[in-house]
Amino acid sequence: MDQDVSNLFRALAGVGRVKAVRQEYQVFRSAGGDFVVFSPSSRGSSSFHMTRVPAEKVEALDKMLTSDSVTTGSLMKDGRLDEVFGSAEKVAKRFDLLMALYVLTALGKAEMKKSGRILVFSKLRNEG
């Protein structure tokens, strides 16, 4: 993996927080437009996991999402996002979809509801 991440940390702007089933995620937007999602690590109170979520994935998902409820599983079966999210590596794709859904939730564009251990997402209607 030969990716330079130095630009991700320039001028991070807070977007919001998302409380999921087991933990809370903090979402930021980088100066380059991509998103960075931080979640607490079990390795210590000062440790976090970080995930880069490319803006193009968030935008593609935002365009496709409707007021109908979706899960990462239903999105995996829907082939419309395969070009942007890929289709070969199923575990990676599910994780990328979930992180993009968290970003949309933090942006106030999607609503997340818990149904047992399953997270269900739908697009929020624009007010105004």
- pLDDT tens, residue by residue, 96-116: 999 999 999 999 999 999 888
**Predicted local distance difference test score (pLDDT) of residue 128:** 43
> Long-range contacts for 48-52 (Cβ within 8 Å, ≥24 apart)?
51/95, 51/99, 52/5, 52/8
| Number of Cβ within a 10 Å radius of residue 123 | 19
Q: What is the pLDDT of residues 51-78, one digit of tens each?
A: 999 999 999 999 999 889 999 999 999 8
**Predicted local distance difference test score (pLDDT) of residue 88:** 77
**Predicted local distance difference test score (pLDDT) of residue 33:** 92
**Predicted local distance difference test score (pLDDT) of residue 1:** 46
Position 128 in a domain: no
How many domains would you assign to the chain? 1
Position 26 in a domain: yes
Q: Which of 18-22, 28-32, 110-114 has the lowest mean pLDDT?
A: 18-22
**Predicted local distance difference test score (pLDDT) of residue 126:** 67
Give the domain range for residue 91.
6-123
**By C-alpha distance, which of 40, 12, 39, 41 is closest to 28?**
12
Residue 8 has pLDDT above 80, yes or no: no
Position 11 in a domain: yes
